[in-house]
Chain A
Amino acid sequence: MAERKIPEVDIIVDEKAGVIKEVGPQRKLRSKKGHERRTNGAIYTVLTVMSIVWLVPFVFLVLQSFRSYKLEKGGMVDYLLPKTFSLDNYAFLFEGSNFFHWCGRAILVGLACAAATVALVCLAGKLFDRQDRGARPARVGILGACLAAGYALLVALTAALQGFAPAERPVAVLVCLMLFLAIGAIIARVYLKQDSKLLRSIPGYVVEDRHEGAKKLAAMFAEFALLAIILQYILIPMTKSQYLLWYTNTLTIALFTAVLQTAIVLSVSYALSRLRFRGRKLIMNAVLVLGLFPGFLTMITLYFLLKQMGLTQSGAVPGLILIYCASSGMGYYISKGFFDTIPKSLDESARIDGATRFQVFMKIIMPLAKPIVIYTILMAFMAPWGDYVFASYVAFGDQQGYNVAVGLYNWVNTNDFQNYFTRFCAGGVLVALPITALFLALQKYYVEGVTGGAVKG
């Protein structure tokens, strides 16, 4: 065996910093530095090239979405930059809908109402909070502000209602009210002081110590689901735009799947990780074996089962939610891996204090499991946006039941795809934007889940 070459380096122990420094002859150091610089330069080059490759298709996508399908015919052209930038494709997506008329107004009113309510709730919270008994002048001021906010609410409502025909007004009020509830609740949650007495008295708003994370999240999703239902069943039936229909279909599916699937996955993984019972190993092995069967094998049977329940074609939205959630318990690996890392002594001490297993689950484990809860929600929420196979099979040619993936896929794979290509780009951009934003915002949790899952297998 060849003897190892020992580099000519003096090793000096820097006692203050407690680290070992390598100090070689000056020349060597300089060449080392040069070497370092060259390596870093190479790495920067590679990374830059990669970044360009990674981003270029998306840039192209966005650019082509601005090429008008009316003025510059043809999907496949030999130039990249549109000759004129136009929003025709985006306009097409919303064509035939009075969506903006409705949505715009409703959201405006909702926002105004919400802002007013937030002000009201905040002020009232201050007013009634016993611990914060201010001086009398302050109270009077607050009361005045309350009145002003109420007045603003009233004005906003009447102003908005004037845009609607008399026959539409009851519906408009209803929509506004629901939007107001949903948006107001979301805003309130973000901006209100968490320990406000008034808030605590509202069920679902309990923001006490340990429940906080899970409850907040659950309430958030309940509100978003409310929004989705408003869009799905009140606003959208009034529009004729297919794209909007597909979009809200997908949104509804994604929201409900996110909530239900997370609940299922967490219960299964908690049970398999923390509880010991007969048949636990059996269940895990069975899931392992079942997971080896390809998912599409069972497509016709699932379709038939759903059809028996009337959940295909135009009823595809609830049908797909059912399919996505029913078997989701099998995807417990990652969250089980996470639960496994939480020390058992926590459960035990709580049990000694007389907590039931349910209480341990809700009050001790769930608050600690926030990263994995968010990861599960994120994954469950994103999956339906990309699902083509089941969605197309369950919708089976009925455009009422399409999700965006099916709708847009059909646009680029029909005979007329040259004509629809730029519209596909626009539709794709509108799907990708919110999803990407959500993903990047929650990237931290995604990394945590993915790494944990990979390491523990």
Chain B
Amino acid sequence: MVDLDYLKMSRPRKLLHDLAGFFARLPGRLGNGLKGLALAVGRCLKGLGLSIADLFTTFRDGDWKTRLSYLVMGSGSMARGQWGRGLLFFLFQTVFNLYMVNFGMAYLGKLNTLGVVETYKEGRKTVYGDNSFLILLYGVLTLFFIAAFIYTWRVNIRQNKVSQQILASGGKLKGTKDNLQSLVDSQFHKTLLALPTLGVFVFTILPIFFMILVAFTNFDYNHQPPAKLFTWVGFENFRTLLSSGSASYGDTFRQVLFWTLVWAFFATFLNYFLGMFVAIMINKKGIRLKKMWRTILVMTIAIPQFVSLLYVSKMFAADGLINTYLMKWHWIAQPIPFWTDPGWARFTIILINIWIGIPYLMLIATGILMNIPADLYESARIDGANALQMYGKITLPYMLFVTGPYLLTSFTGNINNFNVIFLLSQGKPMGLAGNAGHTDLLITWLYRMTVTDTNYKIAAVIGIMVFVVLAVINLVVYNLIPSVKNEEDFQ
């Protein structure tokens, strides 16, 4: 009977009911998510336990070759005639040992204090002490290296076990040539992913890890290595950013976050609906020169943003073309403060972003609109639906259904949309505490903190906060999407 009740409801009440339902189910869904997480952690721990247990049993059941491999990696493989593989393992261990002895240990030892020896001047000569930056960076690198070593060591032992089993059952081991051959066949994914993974490790994961750690230090303009040391301060930076007070950035953070969300909302949904609208107009039967309209609009995608946006920002300047012409024609007496008044600046940015953003949506919507089965419209027309009804009942649900994931990525992208803000207003007008402006997004504020203010600790905290905001939004929407799918499945 519930379904029938639901169908009887009026439109706004239906919506209300849906929303209420969504929020009622949200804790359950989040709970499920947490449960899933807990299960995953449990699985991991179990796997780890089994793995360690396996280490012992392998050692117990192993022959001398396997046991030797516990100490000298690759020796087992070499003893069994797998020279190529054994040498690689051995080489890795040698490199690791050399690295640790000559380099890694020193940095690892200082990681807990980030250095204590200050740099000082002896007459005109500067005697350099510890460099906190290097200690932290190489400390993290060493930790990564150790993890990689443990993993490789484990692989080495597992391979010994497998080899031993194969030999015991009378099989034959693969030679180096076969192993190389497998790299383009059964192990092809390793070949494909090796380089990209290495790149991501060194240029993404390592730096992110490093910056997360920086958020817990006092690394800023007063503590710049190599002249000065910095050290761990715990959660102090988070307190500075989040609490309100004269010396902290809490109010600024809230304002910037608010504007970031408002901006992302408008930039996503305004463009979405306007872009769809334009696509529908161009795709309408009987409209000629479809290709030309599309090409004209697409110009804003084609032309590099630093040309178009920089030019447009100057066009809207106080002495720019728009203001001067409006004054020349005596429509206004004073220049409109496009970039100097907070409200105007925000409005102008959203307006100009429409100019940049509509074409993307138009292209996407065009592709999707063409996929909507024509007989849906045909039957709707026979039933007497007008254009608006057809839009509301067919086009819009279909679009939302198909582009749901895109909307999410687009929202995420807009929260991190650096170019538009930076090229148009650079965050100006300024005037918030912490050297932030009224049009600053979290990401542009982070940029200014890094480049202009060299306040790395706060920049790191802002970066983490952006991550938190995005993670929350993504989690909520991912939990929302299955429901969207069920409810709007109209086929």
In the complex, whether A440 has a CB less than 8 A from a CB of chain B is: yes
Inter-chain CA distance A283–B447, complex, in Å, is 29
A1-40 contacts to B, CB under 8 A, are: 4-7, 11, 20, 22, 36, 39-40
In the complex, whether A293 has a CB less than 8 A from a CB of chain B is: yes
Inter-chain CA distance A322–B192, complex, in Å, is 18
In the complex, whether B62 has a CB less than 8 A from a CB of chain A is: no
CB-CB under 8 A from B95, the residues of chain A are none
CB-CB under 8 A from A75, the residues of chain B are 314
CB-CB under 8 A from B470, the residues of chain A are 292
In the complex, whether A50 has a CB less than 8 A from a CB of chain B is: yes
Inter-chain CA distance A424–B200, complex, in Å, is 36
B186-206 contacts to A, CB under 8 A, are: 186, 188-189, 191-193, 195-197, 199-200, 202-206
CB distance from A308 to the nearest CB of B (A): 9
Inter-chain CA distance A270–B210, complex, in Å, is 31
Inter-chain CA distance A300–B447, complex, in Å, is 11
The reply to whether A435 and B303 contact each other, CB–CB distance below 8 Å, is yes
Contacting residue for B403 out of A77, A287, A409, A454, CB 8 A: A454
CB-CB under 8 A from A431, the residues of chain B are 304, 307
Q: Which of A4, A43, A294, A405 has the most CB of B within 10 A?
A: A294
For A325, give the chain B residue with the smallest CB separation.
Answer: B199
- In this complex, how many residues of chain A approach chain B with their Cβ under 8 Å: the count is 97
CB-CB under 8 A from A61, the residues of chain B are 307-308, 311
Contacting residue for B378 out of A20, A76, A268, CB 8 A: A20
CB distance from A288 to the nearest CB of B (A): 8
A395-422 contacts to B, CB under 8 A, are: 405, 408-409, 412, 421
For B284, give the chain A residue with the smallest CB separation.
Answer: A43
Given A302-B203, A389-B447, A393-B451: A447 and B363 interface contact (C-beta under 8 Å): yes
In the complex, whether A267 has a CB less than 8 A from a CB of chain B is: yes
Q: Which of A46, A326, A361, A456 has the most CB of B within 10 A?
A: A326
CB-CB under 8 A from A386, the residues of chain B are 304-306, 419
Q: Which of A22, A47, A330 has the most CB of B within 10 A?
A: A47
The reply to whether B208 and A268 contact each other, CB–CB distance below 8 Å, is no
The reply to whether B298 and A443 contact each other, CB–CB distance below 8 Å, is yes
In the complex, whether A143 has a CB less than 8 A from a CB of chain B is: no
Provide the main secondary structure of the chain A interface: helix
| Interface stretch of the complex, out of A51-59, A96-104, A129-137, A149-157 | A51-59
Contacting residue for A457 out of B193, B308, B409, CB 8 A: B409
The reply to whether B200 and A290 contact each other, CB–CB distance below 8 Å, is yes
In the complex, whether A264 has a CB less than 8 A from a CB of chain B is: yes
- In this complex, how many residues of chain B approach chain A with their Cβ under 8 Å: the count is 99
Q: Which of A51, A297, A446 has the most CB of B within 10 A?
A: A297
CB distance from A8 to the nearest CB of B (A): 10
The reply to whether A44 and B196 contact each other, CB–CB distance below 8 Å, is no
In the complex, whether A60 has a CB less than 8 A from a CB of chain B is: yes
CB-CB under 8 A from A78, the residues of chain B are 324-325, 327-328
The reply to whether A298 and B211 contact each other, CB–CB distance below 8 Å, is yes
Contacting residue for A388 out of B185, B199, B286, B306, CB 8 A: B306
CB-CB under 8 A from B467, the residues of chain A are 292-294
CB-CB under 8 A from B306, the residues of chain A are 385-386, 388, 405, 408-409
In the complex, whether B384 has a CB less than 8 A from a CB of chain A is: yes
Given A58-B299, A451-B367: A296 and B315 interface contact (C-beta under 8 Å): no
In the complex, whether B411 has a CB less than 8 A from a CB of chain A is: no
Interface string of A413-451 (1 = CB under 8 A from B): 000000001001100110110011001100100110011
CB distance from B453 to the nearest CB of A (A): 12
In the complex, whether B287 has a CB less than 8 A from a CB of chain A is: yes
In the complex, whether B474 has a CB less than 8 A from a CB of chain A is: yes
For B416, give the chain A residue with the smallest CB separation.
Answer: A294
In the complex, whether A323 has a CB less than 8 A from a CB of chain B is: yes
Interface string of B263-305 (1 = CB under 8 A from A): 0000000000000001001101011000001011111111111
The reply to whether A267 and B196 contact each other, CB–CB distance below 8 Å, is yes
A300-356 contacts to B, CB under 8 A, are: 300-302, 304-305, 322-323, 325-330, 356
Inter-chain CA distance A67–B424, complex, in Å, is 23
Contacting residue for A76 out of B302, B324, B382, B422, CB 8 A: B324
CB-CB under 8 A from A60, the residues of chain B are 311, 315, 321
Given A405-B304, A450-B364, A454-B364: A293 and B384 interface contact (C-beta under 8 Å): no
In the complex, whether B184 has a CB less than 8 A from a CB of chain A is: yes
CB distance from A72 to the nearest CB of B (A): 14
Given A357-B188, A389-B422: A432 and B196 interface contact (C-beta under 8 Å): no
The reply to whether A304 and B133 contact each other, CB–CB distance below 8 Å, is yes
CB-CB under 8 A from A409, the residues of chain B are 306, 310, 423
The reply to whether A293 and B463 contact each other, CB–CB distance below 8 Å, is yes
Inter-chain CA distance A251–B312, complex, in Å, is 25
CB distance from B178 to the nearest CB of A (A): 13
Q: What are 25 A-B pairs with beta-carbon distances under 8 A? A: A40-B287, A47-B282, A51-B293, A51-B296, A53-B355, A76-B320, A271-B193, A287-B200, A298-B207, A299-B450, A301-B210, A304-B133, A305-B202, A326-B203, A329-B197, A356-B184, A357-B188, A389-B447, A405-B306, A409-B306, A432-B307, A439-B301, A451-B364, A454-B364, A457-B405
Residues of A within 8 A of B (CB): 4-7, 11, 20, 22, 36, 39-40, 43-44, 46-47, 50-51, 53-55, 57-58, 60-61, 75-78, 80, 264, 267-268, 270-271, 275, 277, 280, 283, 287, 289-290, 292-302, 304-305, 322-323, 325-330, 356-359, 361, 382, 385-386, 388-389, 393, 405, 408-409, 412, 421, 424-425, 428-429, 431-432, 435-436, 439-440, 443, 446-447, 450-451, 453-457
Nearest 8 CB-CB pairings of A with B: A457-B405, A329-B196, A451-B367, A298-B207, A297-B463, A326-B199, A301-B207, A358-B184
Excluding A297-B463, A300-B456, 10 further A-B contacts by CB distance (< 8 Å) are A77-B324, A296-B446, A298-B210, A421-B314, A428-B307, A435-B304, A446-B301, A451-B367, A454-B364, A455-B406
